């Protein structure tokens, strides 16, 4: 997500450079990454990553007790349910 605009800029430069042999391929790549489907899935993956990242980090630390892990599982389930109900508006 951080490099999306930079990637688009580089692809546009390649497309517009007459000496570049891969301009047609770059044009197809640019069209693909700027498509609605690609952008939508990228945002969806980022949202899911944000929700589940804390849970994954906690489960990787062996020092966490089972009660805390269960609390994090419950919280994560609530956040995913909330995203299902309200998250589509943000996207």
DSSP for 26-40, written as a single string: HHHHHHHHTSHHHHH
Report how many domains make up the chain.
2
Say whether both 91 and 47 belong to one domain: yes
Report the alpha-carbon distance of residue 5 to residue 74 in Å, rounded: 36
Q: Give the domain extent around 8.
A: 1-34
What are 23-58's pLDDT values in tens digits?
677 777 778 778 888 888 888 888 888 778 877 777
Of the candidates 29, 47, 49, which has an alpha carbon nearest to the alpha carbon of residue 38? 29
Whether residues 76 and 47 fall in one domain:
yes
pTM of the full predicted structure?
Answer: 0.48
pLDDT in tens, 74-91: 888 988 888 888 876 665
| 88 and 56 co-located in one domain | yes
Mark 8-47 as b/e (b = at least 16 C-beta within 10 Å): eeebeebbeeeeeeebeebeebbeeeeeeeeeeeeeeeeb
């Amino acid at each position: 997500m951080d490099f999306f605009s930079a990637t688009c800029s580089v692809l546009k430069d390649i497309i517009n450079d007459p000496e570049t042999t891969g301009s047609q391929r770059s044009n197809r790549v640019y069209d693909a990454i700027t498509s609605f489907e690609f952008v939508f899935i990228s945002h969806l993956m980022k949202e899911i990553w944000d929700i589940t990242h804390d849970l994954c980090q906690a489960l990787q630390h062996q020092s966490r007790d089972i009660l805390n892990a269960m609390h994090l599982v419950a919280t994560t389930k609530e956040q995913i349910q909330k995203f299902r109900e309200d998250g589509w508006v943000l996207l």
